[in-house]
């Protein structure tokens, strides 16, 4: 189903939230003493699923009457599994559609269930149990490697054979709009024989795509690559903030620590995997061919246009446009590799792609690449940036373009606060 689907709620062609999308989030009404609950975005409204469940409209689904929508996270809904997700989505399309059974035929309930987005506070959508960050964009890996090690050693020998990743910090994942405090740590300036302690001087952002695990696997039982997507509930935009100077000193030999664990921002809406199905695309050619457990047949990528906007003291400026189809390793391959040793994923786990960069200078996904480690400053409204300054605001957005409609993620944004 595509452009022919219509909601009784009129939706502009450039809206991120038509009936073809129906992403899930957690919200509460501003000014009301109510508990957080599950909602779905449609145009500039939030549909209150807890209210609809209380009215019995999901009783015919596995989710009905279980209280999963009157919760402060999507986790209880995730645990119900794929059949429940599918039936709820079918029900939502019927309720929001133009035909029989539409919610518009119940004006009192409709008026209470559809809440203007300006009247709600959007909260962290998932209680993230674990967080794994990969390094799945070849363009990014090559650029970062060339900057740090030189062109001849840009890609490490293992990179084309497996999805490189590390375990991040789930407790510091925050929802879009949350301010980010500049971190402190050990730095090793080039002109100093010993490290110093202080605020990060090379604060960066990283544009990433994250998948939310809905169904886990048992400890010791790997997930085959051909079944990996059965474990995905949906996707969010991710900004994995990075302290480049702290990272440069601390990462050998075990990798990032303080440089990554201070904040990771995610968009408030989880776009279901089903909404992205029409936008599958060919991924980059994988050469050499991966080992058998990583061979993923068919369309591995998604055609998602991604943008980065940066605002200093003036107006925001778009500084990069890239696409998720540039990811060398697919989410299915990341899941298969993550679990091949027996690791158990859990409902609510977040798996992020790592920085997404394209082949051109204007399609790079972080300041390290965009400025080439400070050599080429970004020009804003009367200012320049090499790294993020206090007060800067970073906004990332993304959408798939259909025939007369878009399936979008909204945005993930954050403003930099001074260090303590």
Catalytic residue among 140, 231, 326, 337: 140
Dihedral sign (CA 305, 310, 315, 320): negative
Spatial strand order in the sheet of 37-42:
114-116, 45-48, 37-42, 24-29, 120-123
Residue with tokens 């990060």: 200
Domains in the chain (CATH in brackets) are: 24-123 (2.30.30.230), 131-417 (3.90.850.10)
Output the DSSP codes for 86-127: HHHHHHHHHHHBSSTT-GGGSHHHHHHHEEEGGGEEEE-SS-
Q: How far apart are CA 263 and CA 380, in angstroms?
A: 25
Low-confidence ranges of the chain (pLDDT < 50): 1
C-alpha angle with apex 139: 260 to 352, nearest 5 degrees?
40
* Residue 406 and residue 399 in contact, taking contact as beta carbons nearer than 8 Å: yes
pLDDT in tens, 151-181: 988 999 999 999 999 999 999 999 999 999 9
Q: How far apart are CA 94 and CA 97, in angstroms?
A: 5
Q: Tell me if residue 140 is catalytic.
A: yes
The four Cα atoms 59, 64, 67, 68 give a dihedral, to 10 degrees, of: -150
Residue 152 φ/ψ, nearest 5 degrees: -70, -25
* Structure token digits, residue 222: 């790997």
Q: How far apart are CA 27 and CA 125, in angstroms?
A: 8
* Residue 342 and residue 222 in contact, taking contact as beta carbons nearer than 8 Å: yes
Q: How far apart are CA 288 and CA 238, in angstroms?
A: 29
In terms of DSSP bridges, do strands 280-281 and 37-42 run parallel, antiparallel, or are they unpaired? unpaired
Q: How far apart are CA 232 and CA 213, in angstroms?
A: 5
Q: Which of 286, 304, 406 is nearest to 353 (CA)?
A: 304
* Residue 187 and residue 245 in contact, taking contact as beta carbons nearer than 8 Å: yes
Q: Which of 248, 256, 214, 198 is nearest to 345 (CA)?
A: 214
pLDDT in tens, 79-138: 999 999 999 999 999 999 998 778 999 999 999 999 999 999 999 999 999 999 999 999
* Residue 37 and residue 69 in contact, taking contact as beta carbons nearer than 8 Å: yes
Which DSSP letter does residue 34 get? -
Q: Is the pTM of this model over 0.85?
A: yes
- Per-residue model confidence (pLDDT) at position 360: 96
- Per-residue model confidence (pLDDT) at position 100: 79
Q: Which of 218, 216, 219, 213 is nearest to 74 (CA)?
A: 213
* Structure token digits, residue 156: 């490490």
Q: How far apart are CA 278 and CA 35, in angstroms?
A: 35
- Which residues face 319 on adjacent strands? none
- Per-residue model confidence (pLDDT) at position 1: 43
């Amino acid at each position: 189903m595509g452009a022919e689907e219509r909601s009784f709620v009129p939706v502009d062609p450039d809206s991120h939230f038509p009936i073809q999308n129906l992403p899930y989030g957690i919200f509460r009404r501003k000014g009301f003493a109510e508990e957080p609950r599950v909602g779905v975005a449609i145009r500039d409204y939030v549909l209150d699923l807890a209210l609809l469940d209380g009215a019995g409209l999901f009783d015919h689904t596995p989710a009905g009457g279980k209280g999963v929508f009157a919760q402060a996270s999507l986790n209880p809904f995730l645990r119900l599994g794929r059949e429940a997700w599918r039936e709820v989505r079918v029900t939502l399309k019927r309720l929001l559609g133009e035909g029989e059974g539409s919610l518009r035929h119940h004006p009192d309930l409709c008026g209470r269930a559809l809440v203007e987005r300006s009247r709600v506070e959007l909260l962290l959508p998932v209680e993230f149990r674990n967080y794994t960050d990969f390094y799945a964009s070849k363009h990014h890996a090559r650029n970062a490697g060339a900057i740090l090690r030189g062109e001849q050693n840009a890609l490490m020998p293992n990179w084309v054979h497996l999805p490189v990743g590390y375990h991040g910090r789930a407790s510091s994942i925050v929802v879009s709009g949350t301010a980010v405090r500049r971190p402190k740590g050990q730095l090793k300036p080039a002109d100093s024989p010993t490290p110093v302690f202080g605020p990060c001087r090379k604060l960066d952002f990283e544009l990433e795509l994250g998948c939310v695990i809905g169904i886990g696997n048992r400890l010791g039982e790997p997930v085959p690559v051909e079944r990996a997507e059965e474990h995905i509930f949906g996707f969010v935009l991710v900004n994995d903030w990075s302290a480049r100077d702290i990272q440069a000193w601390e990462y050998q030999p075990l990798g990032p620590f303080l440089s990554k664990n201070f904040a990771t921002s995610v968009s408030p809406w989880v776009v279901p995997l089903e909404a992205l199905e029409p936008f599958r695309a060919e991924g980059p050619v994988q050469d050499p061919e991966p080992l058998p457990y990583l061979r993923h047949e068919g369309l591995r990528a998604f055609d998602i246009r991604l943008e980065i906007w940066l605002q200093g003291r003036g107006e925001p400026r778009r500084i990069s446009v890239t696409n998720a189809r540039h990811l060398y390793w697919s989410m299915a391959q990341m899941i298969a590799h993550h679990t091949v040793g027996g690791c158990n994923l859990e409902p609510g786990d977040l798996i992020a792609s790592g920085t997404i960069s394209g082949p051109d200078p204007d399609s790079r996904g972080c300041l390290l690449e965009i400025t080439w480690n400070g050599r080429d400053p970004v020009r804003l409204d009367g200012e320049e940036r090499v790294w993020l300054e206090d007060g800067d605001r970073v906004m990332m957005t993304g959408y798939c373009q259909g025939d007369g409609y878009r399936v979008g993620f909204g945005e993930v944004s954050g403003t930099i606060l001074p260090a303590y």
